[in-house]
A and B are shown apart, each in its own frame.
Chain A
Amino acid sequence: MASIVASIWEGITYRGREGHWAWLLHRVSGLGILLFLALHIVDIYLIGVGKEIFEAFLFFYHSAPFKVLVMGLLFGVYYHAFNGVRIILVDFWPERFSNWKTQRLMFRVVIVLTLLAFIPSAIATVAPLFNLHMPWWNH
């Protein structure tokens, strides 16, 4: 148990700048997404069980505290997706992408793309709490 804590702590406190942050965020977001995916499969399974129990779950999803987790999920999925592209580029074309300057640039591009996708998603997530609607929503 002590060795598990030690390796996790080493993974967090290692000072490897962009490469380390990219790796750590990829790992944490991946595990978070997997946990949500398990919950999401259970909630969709409830469609086959009954309307009432499924809608009780939806009520929980639409509550304000859960929206905080949804924001984390949205950021995590976008980051994991764009950082995954960076990993694919480095793995398949190392001679072009693996030098540290390109890697640092790519990490910054990943963060910019993540924020570009995350910001509209975050606005859409909190909008219903303030009775606001995106103009194209028809509910």
Chain B
Amino acid sequence: MALKTRTRSYGSPNRFEVASWYFMRVSGAALLVLAVFHLFYMHVIAGVDAITFEWIVNERWNGPLGMFWRTYDLALLLFALLHGANGARWVIDDYIHGRGANLAVKSALYVLTAILILMGMQVIFTVPLHSQQTALSALVTALGR
């Protein structure tokens, strides 16, 4: 019996669920910094009226820290959306037990998640870059000023 339990813990389909459980903790810890700072910065430190088209294109994504913020926003996009989509998957499994309905709703969730990731990545990557820099060089330049 004990041997059976031991063999089942290796290579069982639940390995995915263990990875998913662990991912929620790791991405959650990352989002504790990334999302909370993003929200507090935009709403309290900068104020939402400071956020305009020009500010995002010329300051946030092209200022001295332009590549740093693009990398930050990309990390926030991926962590937040994957964390949220996985949470929604758990909620769907909790409430929708019919096999067909469960599959249909989860499939819609995955398609929407993929579309949103592509939309977010496209805008971060395609807003024109005014200067040659990397996330690291942007940070070094800003710290050296």
Contact = CB atoms under 8 A, between A and B. Distances in A.
Q: Is the interface of B mostly helix, strand, loop or mixed?
A: helix
A90 to B, nearest CB: 11
A121 B40 contact: yes
Contact of B36 (A34, A73, A78): A78
Interface string A108-133: 00000000010011001101100001
Interface in B79-109: 80-81, 84-85, 87-88, 91, 94-97
Nearest to A3: B97
A30 B91 CA distance: 10
Given A88-B28, A124-B43, A45 B48 contact: no
Contact of B45 (A74, A81, A136): A136
A121 B47 contact: no
A54 interface: yes
Contacts, number: 109
Interface string B39-81: 1100111111111110011000000000000000000010011
A139 interface: yes
Contacts of B112: 38
Nearest to B87: A30
A124 B123 CA distance: 28
Q: Is the interface of A mostly helix, strand, loop or mixed?
A: helix
Interface residues of B, number: 42
Contacts of A139: 47, 49-50
A10 to B, nearest CB: 10
Contacts of B50: 137-139
A25 interface: no
Contacts of A41: 77, 81, 116, 119-120
A121 B45 CA distance: 9
Interface in A42-78: 42, 44-45, 47-48, 51, 54-55, 58, 61-62, 70, 73-74, 77-78
Interface of A: 3-4, 7-8, 27, 30-31, 33-34, 37-38, 41-42, 44-45, 47-48, 51, 54-55, 58, 61-62, 70, 73-74, 77-78, 81, 84-85, 87-88, 91-92, 117, 120-121, 124-125, 127-128, 133-134, 136-139
